[in-house]
Amino acid sequence: MTTSQTTHQIINVTNKATELYNQWLTEKQAAEFLNVSPSFLAKNRCYAKNEDVIPFAKLSAKCIRYNYYQLQNWLDAQIQAFKSEELS
- The reported pTM is 0.70
Question: What pLDDT is stored for residue 82 in this prediction?
Answer: 87
Dump pLDDT digits (tens) for 30-57. Answer: 999 999 999 999 999 999 998 789 999 9
CB 78 within 8 A of CB 55: no
- pLDDT classification of 86: cutoffs 50, 70, 90: confident
CB 55 within 8 A of CB 67: yes
For residues 42 and 15, give the distance between their C-alpha atoms in angstroms, rounded to a whole number: 31
Cα-flanking dihedrals φ and ψ of residue 24, to 5°?
Answer: -100, 125
